[in-house]
Amino acid sequence: MADAKFIYDSAERNADLYYATRFAAPDPFIYFEVRGKKYLVLSDLEIDRGKKIATVERVLSLASYAKLAEKKNRSFTIVDVLKEIFSEHGIKKLVVPQTMSFAMADALRKKGFRVEPGPVPFYEERLAKTPEERKLIERSQRVIFEAMRLARETLEKSRIKGDRLAYRGKTLTSEMMQQILRVFLLERNHFAPEIIVACGMHSIDPHDRGAGPLRPHKAIIVDIFPRSSATMYYGDATRTFCKGRAPDALKRMYATVKEGQELGISKLRAGVNGRLVHESIMRYFEKKGYVTGVKGGRRQGFFHSTGHSIALDLPEEPGRLGPRDFIVPMGYVTSVEPGLYYAAVGGVRIEDLVYVTKKGCEILSRYPKRLEVR
Amino acid sequence: MADAKFIYDSAERNADLYYATRFAAPDPFIYFEVRGKKYLVLSDLEIDRGKKIATVERVLSLASYAKLAEKKNRSFTIVDVLKEIFSEHGIKKLVVPQTMSFAMADALRKKGFRVEPGPVPFYEERLAKTPEERKLIERSQRVIFEAMRLARETLEKSRIKGDRLAYRGKTLTSEMMQQILRVFLLERNHFAPEIIVACGMHSIDPHDRGAGPLRPHKAIIVDIFPRSSATMYYGDATRTFCKGRAPDALKRMYATVKEGQELGISKLRAGVNGRLVHESIMRYFEKKGYVTGVKGGRRQGFFHSTGHSIALDLPEEPGRLGPRDFIVPMGYVTSVEPGLYYAAVGGVRIEDLVYVTKKGCEILSRYPKRLEVR
């Protein structure tokens, strides 16, 4: 009797499943690994494609196991089918992703299987990106920076009219800019269901997607994080713009965030504790007079993590460059995205992705950091 | 001590959560219902927006419960936080979605909670759509039919060149058509990560998204099923086209599928067994000479279900118009999408959505069913 790794999920939702098989299908499918061999169990609709492209040793037919299950019980469930498959392969203990549904875990246990949670990520080698993965993330990142250029150009082409921006005869809004960028990305096979284009009071809440007219002389945070529908890999980048002359307070804050980001990048390398990178930026901000705390019931300053991992998931767990200890592994890809948020000034965030090496880290594609758009 | 319904998930993934709260956020959040009252527990980043828009009785602060948990254990987890929340509300038994992660279920059980699976869907009232929901699905459906018109027009504007179609100086492919439709839908706030534009051998596999040049005189299945990013509701429709004169065998098959679909629609009403609707179409196809079975290791004929429910999920479980018993409830919205697939002829599928009433069913928006595009 052998232990098996087992996943039942859709590849789009479960990055480990896609990582292991390089196979995606619209419906959930069965995957297991036992005695060093990987297996897929696919329906008739998927089996031919699976045999062609999946990076597994064997592709089995779901229908044939379903037939076996049906012989024993006409109203059989997926768990009966799994029992047939696992019996045939001499499997009694299953190591599964912690996200597996508890209904399925309970049902498998009732059938006599041991079900135990695997690590996060399920394939720990995901933490260190292969050169191929690095390339795919960088490719997404390049597309994002093309979109960032388009955002800047759209602001350039807009004219200031009182407290609004006029673009092609209309008032330029967050929603319009999001749509312009979304379509541009889609035309390059990148899906961005959410894009942040947040101005004024919207910009001081890092989760606010932004809404309504974009304003001149105010911070406009543009945060773009699409997934490539060709490669399944994400990219993620943020720039902050200001149409027209920026107030001095905003300029100073921008320069501070930019320096904070550079400081963080300079400290990142394999083996370093991400918490120390995060704290060094925090301390730098404090030294410059940007204190983090609560004011009027609202958090202000630098109150999110410095960065998160990214690849087939966004964010990828575990580990952040944040307030908790986390030793950064070699080949890690993480965002470095400090920000400062104050009601009186607005929000500023600058984000790039880096690839962590022994000696330091490499920035994945580049785009200028300039606040003002004239 | 009271029982509580409890969901911890993201609203985009968990339709029940969105159904109950009408609130979406980028990260997972905590929801529970106890003694007839609904509660959300949100982070500082989301709490203001939650108070404004969520359809719940109370919005609680995640941060304040996290503080309580931290006092007892510096390296507290989300389960410690849940324990604080549930103790305060006198909750010992949790009814949760069957999709809840077993790692969380196990952890909650270790803390002394009873965890039991709820029904599917978690909110059973989801099966019967409200008039408002019906409207939202119909709105998505109208956008899809505008896209379908664009697909037809694109084929109209293409010229037949040998065994290819020339469109704006290029060979028209499945991928190009998918991209044209995807961008069109996105401009109308509908996301369609996947679109089927399948021709020739691709068209005989109902799950094949299609690839490569579209061919004249062959079946082209166009299946569009986007989600509205404004309302979160899906639409779903399929038409089959043929550029140029269609072969007689394809014409005959098209007419048969169309009649089969109409037959199915005519039999649908609240209280009917979906299996009988499905079997009546199957029998009609057989009577016309279209037999379902396996040929050359490949299934042919009509080998998928007639329809599935749709609203905030696609498909919505449970229940299909298919080979298993399922009593169709009042207010149910389902696709009716019979298809025939033969290697020698190609694939034909026609799909509309209907809203089930006591007396019959109403088609949600309409678009002509015409095979040939000249």
**Where does the pLDDT of residue A1 fall: very low under 50, low under 70, confident under 90, or very high at 90 and above?**
low
What is the C-alpha to C-alpha distance for residues A216 and B173, in angstroms, rounded to an integer?
44
* Residue B206 and residue B335 share a domain: yes
DSSP A34-62: ETTEEEEEE-TTTHHHHHHH--SSEEEEH
pLDDT, average across residues B149-168: 98
Contact A187 B179 (CB under 8 A): yes
Query: Has residue B1 got a pLDDT over 70?
Result: no
- Residue pair A349/A334 in contact (Cβ under 8 Å)? The answer is no
Between the alpha carbon of residue A67 and those of residues A18, A59, A72, A255, B303, the distances in Å are 27, 17, 9, 66, 16
- Residue pair A331/A311 in contact (Cβ under 8 Å)? The answer is no
Q: Which of A44, A186, A207 sits opposite B183 (nearest CB)?
A: A186
Classify strands B164-167 and B159-161 as parallel, antiparallel or unpaired.
Answer: antiparallel
Minimum CA–CA partner of A115 in chain B: B102
Query: Of the candidates B96, B126, B156, which is a domain's last residue?
Result: B126
* Residue A134 and residue A118 share a domain: no
Residue A150: what pLDDT?
A: 98
* Residue A59 and residue A133 share a domain: no
Interface test with A, best of B102, B187, B204, B300 (most A CBs within 10 A): B102
Q: From the CA of B100, how many Å to the nearest CA of chain A?
A: 5
* Residue B213 and residue B357 share a domain: yes
CATH code (residue A42):
3.40.350.10
Give the DSSP H or E segment for A262. Answer: helix A248-267
Classify strands A37-42 and A58-61 as parallel, antiparallel or unpaired.
Answer: parallel
Interface test with B, best of A94, A102, A114, A308 (most B CBs within 10 A): A102
Minimum CA–CA partner of A196 in chain B: B26
CATH code (residue A336):
3.90.230.10
**Where does the pLDDT of residue A135 fall: very low under 50, low under 70, confident under 90, or very high at 90 and above?**
very high
Q: What is the ipTM of this complex?
A: 0.74
N- to C-terminal Cα separation, chain A? 70
pLDDT, average across residues A229-235: 95
SS3 category, A308: strand
* Residue B288 and residue B187 share a domain: yes
* Residue A133 and residue A37 share a domain: no
* Residue B163 and residue B43 share a domain: no
Query: Has residue B226 got a pLDDT over 70?
Result: yes
What is the C-alpha to C-alpha distance for residues B47 and B203, in angstroms, rounded to an integer?
48
| pLDDT tens string B97-109 | 999 999 999 999 9
* Residue B151 and residue B105 share a domain: no
> Hey, how many other C-beta atoms are within 10 angstroms of the C-beta on A260?
26
Query: Of the candidates A126, A161, A194, which is a domain's last residue?
Result: A126
- Residue pair A274/A320 in contact (Cβ under 8 Å)? The answer is yes
- Measured between beta carbons, the chain B residues lying within 8 angstroms of A236 are none
Residue B297: what pLDDT?
A: 76
The mean pLDDT value of chain A amounts to: 95
Tell me the one-letter amino acid at B303: F
- Residue pair A42/A29 in contact (Cβ under 8 Å)? The answer is yes
Among B137, B329, B368, residue whose Cα is nearest residue B236: B137
Minimum CA–CA partner of A204 in chain B: B45
Give the DSSP H or E segment for B263. Answer: helix B248-267
- Measured between beta carbons, the chain B residues lying within 8 angstroms of A206 are 45
What is the C-alpha to C-alpha distance for residues B97 and B139, in angstroms, rounded to an integer?
29
Q: Cα A49 to chain center, whole Å?
A: 27
**Where does the pLDDT of residue B75 fall: very low under 50, low under 70, confident under 90, or very high at 90 and above?**
confident
Which residue's entry shows tokens 């290819």? B164
Residue A295: what pLDDT?
A: 87
Alpha helices (runs of H) in B73-216, residue ranges in sequence order: 78-88, 102-110, 131-157, 174-187
* Residue A77 and residue A100 share a domain: yes
**Where does the pLDDT of residue A86 fall: very low under 50, low under 70, confident under 90, or very high at 90 and above?**
very high
Contact B101 A102 (CB under 8 A): yes
| Number of structural domains in chain B | 2
* Residue A136 and residue A78 share a domain: no
Q: Cα A295 to chain center, whole Å?
A: 30
What is the C-alpha to C-alpha distance for residues B81 and B71, in angstroms, rounded to an integer?
11
Q: Which of A149-153, B288-292, B312-316 has the lowest mean pLDDT?
A: B312-316
* Residue B96 and residue B46 share a domain: yes
Q: From the CA of B314, how many Å to the nearest CA of chain A?
A: 11
Query: Mutual orientation of helices B131-157 and B174-187 as an angle, nearest 10°?
Result: 140
Q: Which of A103, A182, A191 sits opposite B98 (nearest CB)?
A: A103
Residues of A with CB under 8 A from a CB of B: 13, 25-26, 44-46, 48-49, 96, 98-106, 115, 117, 179, 182-183, 186-187, 191, 193-194, 205-208, 229, 299
| pLDDT tens string A266-290 | 999 999 999 999 999 999 999 999 9
- Measured between beta carbons, the chain A residues lying within 8 angstroms of B100 are 101-103
* Residue A177 and residue A321 share a domain: yes
**Chain A / chain B CB contacts < 8 angstroms:** 80
Query: Of the candidates B126, B152, B183, which is a domain's last residue?
Result: B126
Domain that includes residue A68, residue range: 2-126
What is the C-alpha to C-alpha distance for residues A42 and A27, in angstroms, rounded to an integer?
10
| Beta-bridge partners for A61 | A42
A123-132 burial, b for 16+ CB within 10 Å, e for fewer?
A: beebbebeee
| Beta-bridge partners for B234 | B227
pLDDT, average across residues A66-71: 94
Six-digit token pair at B238? 């399929």
Q: Is the peptide bond before A318 cis (omega within 30 degrees of 0)?
A: yes
